[in-house]
């Protein structure tokens, strides 16, 4: 009888230890949510791609005309207040012009293209600078891109706001399921940075009004994944 009681006690102890082990190995309950936020920043800098393209029967004539017109464009841009270090050549090439009207193609001229990258630090000046460049001899505008000097600050603000939004959503989930939100286990940044750029170039019928570049701003977004314990 004593032996049976000892065996029962031993089995009970084993069962209790096994149950405790399973309880320790059981995964903790968690809540995983995403938070996302977007912060707007004013566009305050523009990069304008301007250029001169010339074609002539000889490569020398095409290069000579191109060089003279580019020099005039540079002079006009500098006179308008563009700093020397905000101007640089972004492309230069010489291509051959062929006549394909007959069976055998033949060279009939050469095209020289010289492109400038112009950084404009006053958005209100962009349209008039394009007009002045064309008046001085430019005949290409390959695009306008805008940026913000506050990009880093806006990106940081978006990240902080995304984390706050994720915490709010976790509280909401916990309340809806009758749980209590515990400690934050991890935060993973799953996406951030520049989202969209809104601007437009408008050619105006009335030449006296000139070109208008309307920058509507930049938006920066951040997305994070948060994992919380559940009590």
Q: Which residue has the tokens 């001085």?
A: 136
**Domain 45-147: assigned CATH number:** 3.30.70.2970
From-to residues of CATH 3.30.70.2970 in the chain: 45-147
Mean pLDDT, residues 197-206 taken together:
45
Q: How many CB atoms lie within 10 A of CB 3?
A: 7
pLDDT in tens, 207-223: 556 888 887 789 999 99
| CATH-assigned architecture of domain 27-42+151-230 | 2-Layer Sandwich (3.30)
202's CB contacts (< 8 A; 6+ apart) are 211, 212, 213, 214
Give the lowest-confidence range in 19-23, 143-147, 176-180, 226-230: 19-23
Quote the pLDDT of residue 104: 87
In the chain, list all ranges with CATH 3.30.110.170: 27-42+151-230
| CA atoms within a 13 Å half-sphere pointing along the CA-CB vector of 222 | 24
Q: What global pTM score does this model have?
A: 0.73
**Residue 191: partners with Cβ closer than 8 Å, 6 or more residues away:** 221, 222, 223
Which residues have CB under 8 Å from 189's CB, separation 6+? 159, 222, 223, 224
pLDDT > 90: percent of the chain: 73
pLDDT higher than 50, residue 16 = no
What sign does the dihedral 137-141-146-149 (CA atoms) show?
negative
Identify the pLDDT of residue 26.
52
Q: Tens digit of pLDDT for each residue in 72-122?
A: 999 999 999 999 999 999 999 999 999 998 888 999 999 999 999 999 999
pLDDT attached to residue 217:
82
């Amino acid at each position: 009888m004593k032996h049976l009681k000892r065996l029962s006690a031993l089995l009970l102890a084993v069962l209790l230890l096994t149950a405790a082990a399973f309880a320790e190995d059981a995964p903790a309950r968690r809540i995983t949510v995403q938070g996302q936020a977007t912060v707007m920043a004013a566009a305050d800098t523009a990069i304008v791609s301007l250029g001169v393209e010339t074609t002539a029967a000889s490569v020398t004539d095409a290069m000579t005309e191109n060089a003279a017109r580019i020099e005039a464009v540079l002079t006009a841009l500098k006179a308008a207040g563009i700093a020397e270090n905000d101007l640089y050549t972004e492309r230069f090439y010489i291509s051959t012009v062929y006549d394909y009207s007959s069976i055998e193609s033949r060279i009939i001229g050469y095209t020289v293209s010289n492109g400038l990258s112009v950084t404009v630090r006053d958005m209100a000046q962009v349209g008039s600078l394009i007009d002045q460049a064309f008046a001085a001899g430019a005949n290409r505008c390959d695009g306008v891109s805008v940026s913000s000097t506050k990009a880093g600050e806006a990106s940081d603000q978006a990240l902080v706001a995304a984390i706050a939004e994720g915490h709010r959503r976790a509280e909401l989930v916990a309340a809806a399921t009758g749980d209590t939100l515990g400690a934050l286990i991890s935060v993973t940044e799953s996406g951030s940075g520049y989202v969209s750029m809104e601007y437009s170039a408008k050619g105006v019928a009335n030449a006296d009004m000139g070109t208008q570049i309307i920058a509507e701003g930049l938006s920066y977004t951040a997305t994070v994944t948060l994992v919380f314990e559940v009590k």
